[in-house]
Structure 1
Amino acid sequence: MRIVVFEAEEWEREACLTLEPGHTVACTPDALAAEAADLFADAQVISPFVNSDLSATVLRRFPRLELIATRSTGYDHIDLDYCRQHKVTVCNVPDYGDQTVAEHAFALLLALIRHVPEASARARQANFSQQGLRGFELAGKVMGVVGVGRIGRRVIAIARGFGMDVVAYDRAPDAEAVRTLGFRYAPLNEVLATADVLSLHVPGGAGSRSLISDAEFGRMKPGAILVNTARGGVVDAQALVRALHSGRLAGAALDVIAQERRMRDEAEIFRERLTPSPESLQALLADHALLHMPNVLVTPHIAYNTEEAVHRIIDTTLANILAFAHGTPQNVVASPSP
């Protein structure tokens, strides 16, 4: 098969070339976009990461495409309906970063509540004033977890290790998880109302878009902290700005923002054939506002990024490609329609 790996680092290229000589492999550090698609139009397999554009507009430029092996757990960046209708199988990497992402959620949380970035910046300037740097302990606080999947469960375990009480919401409660981890399930509104820290761990997509918006912020405990290492679109950015500005929330720790792709190259807005909607421009402005708020900590979508996790990603991706080549696809999230 003709395989193209997008957003490939050099070490990933070396790993992917192990698929040769049985297959032809090309690697590029660039994300997949319409322009790049034309350079690799003969690809039968493409392996993108999360910054690539896998809309129908781009995918139809691959007339021979059979498999998308995304190097991520989430697949909301892929037009699955197009894939089903055009006989393209989509595979993901389901469980590479449970511990990694959960640990980063707490790295963000601790850095925010203990004012670590500001304190470090002061010390580098030989300013050892402690004014405004008083934090608070996690022990005895309530951690609210929205989404009790693999990552959510690791977050619960870590929170319990800090001495936190945990209340969680999930559409499919699991009694065994309650027994082994020591938390309780509650309706979403109760989780919002009782959590000192709210951590989000739901998949992206239409079902979770703007799950946390004005109404939800209005139900949250005054002075609570929001942590989002899931998907940017899960939170209404404009509502978040309002909640932070009003003081309803004490702070937010974010590894993801909804307009991340556009913020990487804002000139793209002017290259798009369709005029961006006022709503999308307002969302972009809201994300810019979040980057400059003193009670917001943002990292550039790095929660997954540890040595252990990235090697699990590439190992599983290569296994997914080989399994498909052998006629036994695995980790399938979308299959061609009959």
Structure 2
Amino acid sequence: MRSIFWDDGLKLIDQTKLPEKLEVIECRNVEELADAIKKLAVRGAPALEAAGAYGIALAAREREFADVDELKEHLKKAADFLASTRPTAVNLFVGIERALNAALKGESVEEVKELALREAEKLAEEDVERNRKMGEYGAELLEDGDVVLTYCNAGRLATVDWGTALGVVRSAVEQGKEIRVIACETRPLNQGSRLTCWELMEDGIDVTLITDSMVGIVMQKGMVDKVIVGADRIVRDAVFNKIGTYTVSVVAKHHNIPFYVAAPKATFDWERTAKDVVIEERPREELIFCGKRQIAPLNVKVYNPAFDPTPLENVTALITEYGVIYPPYEVNVPKVLKF
């Protein structure tokens, strides 16, 4: 099942319910989709790209419009509204822009609706295809018997299907290689324990869960052969991914363990550097409560950034749908991705 899809309306897996319950919800308007994005019912850069595109198609259908000009103005406002939900993941903006630009070429209300949905569906299909290609390239980096440590969730739940970092693992397993995975729980929302472990176990792939603070000891003991993570934005000097990724990269570098980042071209924001990126800060309640249980004093000060920048000097290679890119990145990224 795809994590997000159109079936007489916009449907998506509610990832806040996993692993206890697999539930598909429908977003009936842009406000409901924005809420789903903010509360992380749908998350992961490529999945957000699809959500952004489908959001434009949804906006075109959420009410009646007097004429095509009124509809186009509504779509522009909806695009701005959706773009404001999460500031760090660049793919969201890419998806919104693609569907909006396609829709604005329409000359009638019905044509605008059709063009928006057609572009969103095209984008979703492209995501699955590029993840498959990424997986094939990345699988060549894995040896039979490798143990891969991953962080957060960069699997099919973070994409339309197949996954980025976990797509590499899936492709290697599909080739007949025996690959085991160590998944970090990924505090504070536990995307690693809740989502990565769930989907790998669904696929019958060997996975072991550890706390984030155990990264050092498993590398020190020689229990990890490679690290593969996803990305929410890649700029000229850093990879932005779930908070804690930077720490994993530092420990991997200390132990001479290859640290790979798997991400599609759409995640690259090569005109910017780390200082230009706004890092989303999540609600303080995410640290004060675990579910409904209070685990910290209510009035404690909280710092809760959603992402951190990992310097590209810590990254062994970037795995993309166009191939594996090695340093020097300032030369090879534009060459391979044709920027």
Larger radius of gyration, structure 1 or 2?
1
TM-score, with normalisation over the residues of structure 1?
A: 0.36
TM-score, with normalisation over the residues of structure 2?
A: 0.36
